[in-house]
Amino acid sequence: MTTQTTESWKKRLDDEYEQIVQWRRHMHANPELSFQETNTARFIADTLRSFGYEVRTGVGGNGILADLAGSKPGPRIALRADFDALPIDEENDVPYKSQNPGVMHACGHDGHTSTLLGVAKVLAGRQDELAGSVRFIFQHAEEKLPGGAIAMIEAGALDGVDEVYGAHLASYMPLGKLSVSSGPSMAAVDSFAITVQGKGGHGAKPHQTVDAIVVGSQLVTSLQHIVARHVNPLASAVVTVGVFRAGSAFNVIADKAEIEGTVRSFDPEIRKQLERDIRDMVHGITLSEHATYKLDYVNGYPALVNPPQQAEEVRDIFVREFGEESLYGLDASMGAEDFAYYLQHRPGNFFNVGSQNDSEDTAFPHHHPRFDIDERALRIAAQAFLAIIADKLLGEA
């Protein structure tokens, strides 16, 4: 019965594949920024209702929940997809190119959501086959702090959930490959914004000024010493300055400099140490140069830690479903993901699905204006989710 059921799911997934692609292209052409995804949320909710689901909208913002309760008792397994886009001008020349100037699905979230819609369509009306239930979590605002995950959790997204799973399309992995990580897999992400206030003046009379550019330059250089000289070389950390704004004319000493950057780490103690070091460094350098400062330091997403038990289970599921050769070794990433919050509350796994083929069009990195995917990855991601549901709610994959 189990094999017959899963084969029926695969057949239905094959039948829905073109529709999944069309959903993805619709969302790609109509992207919306984090916390502004009202039309996308409406599209998702309406699509779920067309399958027969009761839908809860406005969860923690623009989030959406739908449940499929099986006819027999069992665990509740949550599957999550995100649906916000990025402030990027798309450079691809494709029929489904973004119609919203300056906004683009450059990270695959359109693919994540269309995949999960496909899974919901495949499982719709299959309650009698399930021992347990499935919760579909469609999350807004993954790309912008504080993110949508924590608000959705506070609004009840994980209430009654036993395990939670998520997938991310990966242009740095070949099509047909899946990566399953155990332990710390993605970094905690923090940000800082420093305003250095000096005293401006004529470029010919520096002794009468406090040069904000010089003070800011010392800060930028010194910040690089934190990881190099304060963090154990066997640990991982990043301090990156991405913005330095100052000055208005070649012969004017600037009175103000603005510096912005990001901090990445895995270990919670190192994360605290990095913040302390940055605060101390900004205070000390500005004091010694007779400048003042304002520092805004924001603790963002925590490190994403995949529990070993579920990681091993998902690996076994994927080997049975796709073969040993499908597994792809992937090192931990200093990128960040607010799926980390779900894993702080419930066990589960966040895995990657390769979306790169032999064409350079699918090889551009995430957040690039020419990012795109091989859409066959959508079927693989959906099949991976269905294999997890089969293992958890049918007894075996």
Q: What pLDDT was estimated at residue 397?
A: 43
Two structure tokens written together for 202: 């004529």
20 and 137 part of one domain: yes
Amino acid, res. 338: D
Two structure tokens written together for 308: 């070993």
46 and 183 part of one domain: yes
Cβ atoms of 388 and 178 closer than 8 Å: no
Q: What pLDDT was estimated at residue 133?
A: 98
CATH number at residue 214: 3.30.70.360
> Domain range holding 126?
2-187+303-393
Interval 330-388: pLDDT, tens: 999 999 999 999 999 999 999 999 999 999 999 999 999 999 999 999 999 999 999 99
Of 247, 274, 299, the residue at which a domain comes to its end is 299
177 and 261 part of one domain: no
174 and 246 part of one domain: no
Cβ atoms of 79 and 134 closer than 8 Å: yes
Amino acid, res. 306: N
Reference 313, options 339, 280, 349; nearest CA is 349
154 and 59 part of one domain: yes
What global pTM score does this model have?
A: 0.93
DSSP letters spanning 313-334: HHHHHHHHHH-GGGB-----BS
Cβ atoms of 61 and 148 closer than 8 Å: yes
168 and 26 part of one domain: yes
Two structure tokens written together for 106: 């450059």
CATH number at residue 129: 3.40.630.10
27 and 172 part of one domain: yes
Q: What pLDDT was estimated at residue 395?
A: 62
Interval 237-292: pLDDT, tens: 999 999 999 999 999 999 999 999 999 999 999 999 999 999 999 999 999 999 99
Two structure tokens written together for 94: 């494709």
Mean pLDDT of the chain, nearest integer: 97
Q: What is the mean pLDDT of residues 188-217?
A: 98
Q: What is the mean pLDDT of residues 205-215?
A: 98
276 and 351 part of one domain: no
Of 264, 299, 334, the residue at which a domain comes to its end is 299
State the total domains in the chain: 2
Reference 193, options 219, 228, 170; nearest CA is 219
Any catalytic annotation for residue 142? Answer: yes
Q: What pLDDT was estimated at residue 3?
A: 83
Of 261, 279, 299, the residue at which a domain comes to its end is 299
6 and 118 part of one domain: yes
Reference 218, options 276, 279, 273, 281; nearest CA is 281
Burial of 309 (0-12, 13-18, 19+ CB in 10 A): exposed
**Cis peptide upstream of residue 146 (ω within 30 degrees of 0):** yes
Catalytic residue among 142, 143, 163, 211: 142
CA distance 306 to 308: 6
187 to 144, 329, 365: CA distances (angstroms): 15, 18, 18
The continuous run of DSSP H or E covering 257 comes out as strand 256-265
Three-state SS at 307: coil
244 and 270 part of one domain: yes
Burial of 157 (0-12, 13-18, 19+ CB in 10 A): buried
Say how many C-beta atoms besides its own lie within 10 A of residue 381's C-beta: 29
Catalytic residue among 16, 82, 84, 391: 84
Cβ-count burial 249-282 (b if 16+ within 10 Å, e if not): eeeebbbbbebbbbbbbbbeebbebbbebbeebb
Per-residue pLDDT band for 78 (boundaries 50, 70, 90) equals very high
Q: What pLDDT was estimated at residue 340?
A: 98
Say how many C-beta atoms besides its own lie within 10 A of residue 316's C-beta: 13
Cβ atoms of 266 and 187 closer than 8 Å: yes
Any catalytic annotation for residue 84? Answer: yes
Q: Is the pLDDT of residue 140 over 70?
A: yes
Q: What pLDDT was estimated at residue 264?
A: 97
99 and 122 part of one domain: yes
265 and 213 part of one domain: yes
Q: Is the pLDDT of residue 1 over 90?
A: no
